[in-house]
Amino acid sequence: MNKSLFFMATIFSILLLVSCSYQVNNPELGIQGTFLSRFKLNTIFQNDEYFLYEAKSENEILRIYEYNNISDKKSFMSSKLFFIKSLYRQLNSPYPGQVSNKISCSSEFLPKKVSDDVYKLYATPRLTFGACAWDLIEYDTWMYFKQCNDNEVYIVEIYVPVNQTDNSILENIECVSN
């Protein structure tokens, strides 16, 4: 009885381990760049809407979202940026008082447009945006929007510890010609 129970538990554990460790190394992407080539990507998530790839180095994190079937890049980017910028909007305080009746973020923490398709943001240790104080911020984040075919859009997020940005991050990300 104990041997069969142990055997079944072992088989179940192996199946669980195999099903939870689904990752594809170095997927074929439609983009390239000097900085990107330093990483070995893993497929973290996929559904009908997008693929998420991630890679980590000693102190940098790279995330690439690959969206397929995007017909209008401009409206797609607008909706993504609207969501991010809404994290920083001024709000009424739930408890207005003598000190402040508004909650707002200093302009130094707001997303900044670096070029047409590149934005600089700050992120927390949990890789979230919207932090408005230096003690909450751990990463400078560079967000690239790149459209490579008529309906394929990439969002590349590069997380680097604050004030440790390597100039190669700022190099262009190019589409790979098929």
pLDDT tens over the chain, length 178 residues: 566 655 555 554 544 433 333 334 446 788 888 888 888 888 888 888 889 999 998 889 999 999 988 888 788 888 998 998 888 888 777 777 767 777 788 999 999 998 888 899 999 999 999 999 999 999 999 999 888 877 888 999 999 999 887 766 777 788 887 5
Using CB atoms within 10 Å of the CB of residue 35, give its burial: 0 to 12 exposed, 13 to 18 middle, 19+ buried: buried
pLDDT at 64: 93
Q: What's the pLDDT at 21? A: 36
Count CB atoms within 10 A of the CB of residue 116. 7
79-110 burial: b if 16+ Cβ within 10 Å, else e: ebeeeeeeebeeeeeeeeeeeeeeeebeeebe
**Residue 20: what pLDDT?**
38
User: For the chain, which domains are there?
Assistant: 23-175 (3.40.1000)
Query: pLDDT value at position 178?
Result: 57
| Identity of the amino acid at 117 | D
